[in-house]
Structure 1
Amino acid sequence: MWKFAPILFLLFSLNGFCQNRPLLYGVDDLPQALMQNPGTRIDFTRHFGVPFFSQIHFFAGSTGVSAYDIFADENTDINDRVRRVMRDITAGDYFSVNQQLEILSMGWKLSDRIYFSAGIYQEADVFAYFPKDPAVLAFEGNADYIDQDFNFSDVSFTGELLAVYHAGLNYKFDAKLTVGGRLKIYSGIFNAESTGNEGVFRTVSTPGGPNFYRHEVRGLNVNVNTSGFASLRDEEGMTVDEAVAELMSRSLLGQNIGVGADIGFNYRVTNQLSVGASIQDLGLMFHQKDVENYNYFGSFETNGLTPLFPELDGNEATIPYWDIFEERVDRNLNEETTNNEYTTWRPLKYNASFQFGTGMSILPCDYLISKKPRFMNIFGMLFSGVNRPKGPTYGVTAYWDRKVTDRLRFRVAYAVDEFSLTKLGFMMSSRIKNFNIYLAANDILGYTNLAKANSASLQLGMQFIFKDL
Structure 2
Amino acid sequence: MRADSNIVRSLVWLILILPAFSLAQSGLTEYGMSGIPQASVQNPAFRPHASLIIGLPAMSSVSAGVYNTAFSFDDIFVPKPGDDSLHLDLTRPISSKTDINYFSENVAIDLLMLGFKINNTFLTMGVRNRLTSRVYYTNDLMKFVWQGNADYVDQQLNLTGSGVYQEHLNDYYLGLSFPVTYGIDMGVRVNFLQGLSNLETQTPQLALLTRTNQQLGYELIAQTDFQVHTSGLTGLLTDSSSFSPVDYFLAFNNIGFSLDVGIDARLGDQFAVQASVIDFGKIYWYGSPRTYSSSADEVSFTGVEYDFTTDNENTPSEVYLDSLSSLLHVNENRNIYATTLRTKLFVNGQYFTLNRKNSFNLLFAGRFLEESFEYALSFGYTFAPSEKFAIKLNYSYLKYAPLNVGLGFYFNFKPFQIYFTTDNLAAAIKPTGQKYMGFHFGINILIPSSYHNDIPTQKQIGNTIVEP
For the aligned pair, the TM-score class normalised by the smaller chain equals: 0.7 to 0.9
> Quick check: 19-28 or 120-129, which moved more?
19-28
> Quick check: 190-199 or 393-402, which moved more?
190-199
Aligned to 1:192: 199
Structure 1 residues 104 and 78 mapped into 2: Cα distance closer, same or farther (>3 Å)?
closer
Aligned to 1:345: 340
Structure 1 residues 12 and 148 mapped into 2: Cα distance closer, same or farther (>3 Å)?
closer
Higher strand share: 2
Gaps of 5+ in 2: 1-5, 304-320, 452-468
Determine if the alignment matches structure 1 residue 392 to structure 2 residue 373: yes
State the distance in 2 between where 1:199 and 1:105 align.
45
Aligned to 1:174: 181
Structure 1 residues 400 and 105 mapped into 2: Cα distance closer, same or farther (>3 Å)?
same
Determine if the alignment matches structure 1 residue 110 to structure 2 residue 108: no
State the distance in 2 between where 1:248 and 1:141 align.
41
Aligned to 1:320: none
Matched residue type, 1:109 = K
Matched residue type, 1:230 = T
Aligned to 1:422: 403
Describe the superposition over 1:97-122 as per-residue Cα deviations: whole angstroms up to 9, x where unpaired. Answer: 1101111111112222x211111010
Aligned to 1:132: 139
State the distance in 2 between where 1:390 and 1:350 align.
16
State the distance in 2 between where 1:257 and 1:248 align.
13
**2:150 equivalent among 134, 143, 151:** 143
The answer (yes or no) to whether the contact 1:447–1:453 under 8 Å persists in 2 is no
Aligned to 1:401: 382
Aligned to 1:319: none
Which fold has the larger relative contact order, with Cα–Cα distance below 8 Å and residues 6 or more apart in sequence? 2
State the distance in 1 between where 2:377 and 2:300 align.
50
State the distance in 2 between where 1:167 and 1:53 align.
19
> Quick check: 2-11 or 61-70, which moved more?
2-11
State the distance in 2 between where 1:332 and 1:451 align.
40
The answer (yes or no) to whether the contact 1:446–1:453 under 8 Å persists in 2 is yes
**2:58 equivalent among 9, 28, 52:** 52
Structure 1 residues 71 and 403 mapped into 2: Cα distance closer, same or farther (>3 Å)?
same
Determine if the alignment matches structure 1 residue 467 to structure 2 residue 442: no
Q: TM-score, normalised by structure 1?
A: 0.81
Which SS does the other structure have where 2:273 is aligned? strand
> Quick check: 434-443 or 136-145, which moved more?
136-145
Aligned to 1:21: 27
State the distance in 2 between where 1:89 and 1:436 align.
46
Aligned to 2:37: 31
Structure 1 residues 79 and 296 mapped into 2: Cα distance closer, same or farther (>3 Å)?
farther
Q: How large is the Cα RMSD of the aligned pairs?
A: 3.3
Describe the superposition over 1:379-430 as per-residue Cα deviations: whole angstroms up to 9, x where unpaired. Answer: 0011101111231211111000111111111111011113422101111101
Structure 1 residues 223 and 236 mapped into 2: Cα distance closer, same or farther (>3 Å)?
closer
Aligned to 2:281: 283
The answer (yes or no) to whether the contact 1:107–1:118 under 8 Å persists in 2 is yes
Matched residue type, 1:66 = S
Structure 1 residues 235 and 39 mapped into 2: Cα distance closer, same or farther (>3 Å)?
same
Structure 1 residues 51 and 4 mapped into 2: Cα distance closer, same or farther (>3 Å)?
farther
Structure 1 residues 329 and 178 mapped into 2: Cα distance closer, same or farther (>3 Å)?
closer
Which SS does the other structure have where 1:88 is aligned? coil
Matched residue type, 2:160 = S
Gaps of 5+ in 1: 306-325, 361-374
Describe the superposition over 1:336-372 as per-residue Cα deviations: whole angstroms up to 9, x where unpaired. Answer: 1222211101111111100000132xxxxxxxxxxxx
CA-CA distance at 1:329 after TM superposition: 9.1
CA-CA distance at 1:143 after TM superposition: 3.3
CA-CA distance at 1:213 after TM superposition: 7.4
> Quick check: 399-408 or 411-420, which moved more?
411-420
1:202-221 correspondence to structure 2 within 5 Å: 202-203=209-210, 216-218=221-223, 220-221=224-225
Which SS does the other structure have where 2:353 is aligned? strand
Aligned to 1:68: 74
The answer (yes or no) to whether the contact 2:37–2:47 under 8 Å persists in 1 is no
Determine if the alignment matches structure 1 residue 85 to structure 2 residue 93: yes
The answer (yes or no) to whether the contact 1:205–1:212 under 8 Å persists in 2 is yes
CA-CA distance at 1:28 after TM superposition: 1.9
Aligned to 1:229: 233
The answer (yes or no) to whether the contact 1:397–1:414 under 8 Å persists in 2 is yes
Aligned to 2:350: 355
Structure 1 residues 199 and 420 mapped into 2: Cα distance closer, same or farther (>3 Å)?
closer
Which SS does the other structure have where 2:169 is aligned? strand
CA-CA distance at 1:4 after TM superposition: 12
Matched residue type, 1:411 = K
The answer (yes or no) to whether the contact 2:25–2:63 under 8 Å persists in 1 is no
The answer (yes or no) to whether the contact 1:91–1:132 under 8 Å persists in 2 is yes
Which structure is larger by alpha-carbon Rg, 1 or 2? Answer: 1
State the distance in 1 between where 2:239 and 2:300 align.
40
**1:376 equivalent among 346, 354, 357:** 357
Describe the superposition over 1:230-286 as per-residue Cα deviations: whole angstroms up to 9, x where unpaired. Answer: 134445744xxx733333323xxx231111010110111222111111111101010
State the distance in 2 between where 1:327 and 1:93 align.
30
Aligned length: 424
Q: TM-score, normalised by structure 2?
A: 0.81
> Quick check: 81-90 or 94-103, which moved more?
81-90
Structure 1 residues 423 and 394 mapped into 2: Cα distance closer, same or farther (>3 Å)?
same
The answer (yes or no) to whether the contact 2:80–2:87 under 8 Å persists in 1 is no
Which SS does the other structure have where 2:407 is aligned? strand
State the distance in 1 between where 2:200 and 2:298 align.
26
Which SS does the other structure have where 2:89 is aligned? helix
Structure 1 residues 288 and 381 mapped into 2: Cα distance closer, same or farther (>3 Å)?
same
Which SS does the other structure have where 1:264 is aligned? strand
State the distance in 1 between where 2:138 and 2:150 align.
19
State the distance in 2 between where 1:196 and 1:136 align.
18
The answer (yes or no) to whether the contact 1:440–1:460 under 8 Å persists in 2 is yes
State the distance in 2 between where 1:44 and 1:11 align.
39
Percent identical: 21
